[in-house]
Amino acid sequence: MINKLISKIQKTGAPIVVGLDPMMKFIPEHIQSKAFAELGETLEGAAEAIWQYNKEIVDNIYDIIPAVKPQIAMYEQFGIPGLMAFKKTVDYCKSKDLIVIGDIKRGDIGSTSEAYAVGHLGKVLVGSKAYYGFDEDFATVNPYLGSDGVKPFIKVCKEENKGLFILVKTSNPSSGEFQDRLIDGRPLYEIVGEQVARWGEEHMGDSYSYIGAVVGATYPEMGKVLRKVMPKSYILVPGYGAQGGKGADLVHFFNEDGLGAIVNSSRGIIAAYQQEKYAAFGAEHFGEASRAAVEDMREDIASALNNR
């Protein structure tokens, strides 16, 4: 799957993943009204609005991006109907040949991590049968519990030819509270990064590992160090756009081969129509605004990489 991700990045020229993190305030009025007219102001109505919103965005951009990253929390908050919209979104994106990174940030003790791995990346046994629960292609994983919380995910990834992105240095303002603390003179995130590199050796693709890392665009200098600590790990870079990261901040996350990083943007793409820059599209054409925003983001990254 990492090989497929790289080949799709090369084909589209877009080391971009679009975060499908639908908040109600992003969803155009006309989509909400239609869903509520049909199903009421209910969890089911909200889930329908989310699904219609996602579908229109995906239909407008699937041919110019390699991957999407639905943030499961944005669905889980609407309970079971919300999670049904998550699953529908995952399935639809896969039917469009998009790679789906489930942003689930799970992680637990061994047997529990195994259950999460099976549910999101693998098949669960029911009597003599086996079923996929959610079936994403990649998942994000929290490393706080150490190797025996991560290895069950790697085991399932090997069986299913899937991959992980493990949290190393997150994009949020207080990520340094624990992640930056010095251990023998080096920050915790570097120690975690080294471990990600070791875990990655267990499941290599052609040129990169199936086991990648999450490092926030908001910390470019740390990205520079981590790029060297984990040379074979793909880095998923959140924090571009709305959280403050810019194209020029991103260059250090890439290797000399122009590969090694995939940059996430969520509201910057899916709610592009709400920005002044794309307001001319109007709420009715929000999908086209998203497409324009993807194209601009691709240019921003390409020009930053050309100028380094």
Active-site positions read 105
Per-residue contact flags (x/-) with its own copies for residues 136 to 165, judged by CB under 8 A? ------xxxxxxxx----------------
Residue closer to its own copies, measured from CB, 40 or 231: 40
Least distance in angstroms from the C-beta of 83 to its own copies: 6
Site for its own copies in 101-130 (CB under 8 A): 105-113, 115-116, 118-120, 124-129
H, E, C per residue of the chain: CHHHHHHHHHHHCCCEEECCCCCHHHCCHHHHHHHHHHHCCCHHHHHHHHHHHHHHHHHHHCCCCCEECCECHHHHCCHHHHHHHHHHHHHHHHHCCCEEEEEEEECCCHHHHHHHHHHHCCEEEECCEEEECCCCCEEEECCCCCHHHHHHHHHHHHHHCCEEEEEEECCCHHHHHHHCCEECCEEHHHHHHHHHHHHHHCCECCCCECEEEEECCCCHHHHHHHHHHCCCCCEEECCECCCCECHHHHHHHCCCCCCCEEEEECHHHHCHHHCHHHHHHCHHHHHHHHHHHHHHHHHHHHHHHHCC
Candidate segments 169-177, 220-228, 281-289, 291-299, binder of its own copies by CB under 8 A: 169-177
Q: Is 174 in the site for its own copies (CB under 8 A)?
A: yes
Q: Which of 11, 37, 177, 256 binds its own copies (CB under 8 A)?
A: 177
CA angle 165, 234, 149 (to 5 degrees): 30
Site for its own copies in 80-99 (CB under 8 A): 80, 82-84, 87
Q: Is 185 in the site for its own copies (CB under 8 A)?
A: no
Q: Is 204 in the site for its own copies (CB under 8 A)?
A: no
Rounded Cα distance between 213 and 71, Å, is 16
Q: Is 198 in the site for its own copies (CB under 8 A)?
A: no
**Six token digits for residue 146:** 């150490």
Rounded Cα distance between 282 and 238, Å, is 27
Least distance in angstroms from the C-beta of 16 to its own copies: 19
Residue 221 CB neighbour total at 10 angstroms: 9
Residue closer to its own copies, measured from CB, 174 or 306: 174
Least distance in angstroms from the C-beta of 269 to its own copies: 16
Contact 263, 18 (CB under 8 A): no
Q: Which of 171, 209, 233, 265 binds its own copies (CB under 8 A)?
A: 171
Candidate segments 2-10, 21-29, 54-62, 296-304, binder of its own copies by CB under 8 A: 21-29
Residue closer to its own copies, measured from CB, 54 or 60: 54
Site for its own copies in 236-275 (CB under 8 A): 238
Q: Is 172 in the site for its own copies (CB under 8 A)?
A: yes
Q: Count of residues binding its own copies (CB under 8 A)?
A: 74
Residue closer to its own copies, measured from CB, 2 or 191: 191
Q: Which of 56, 132, 274, 288 binds its own copies (CB under 8 A)?
A: 132
Where do we find the tokens 């790990």? 233
Per-residue contact flags (x/-) with its own copies for residues 39 to 68, judged by CB under 8 A? --xxx-xx----------------------
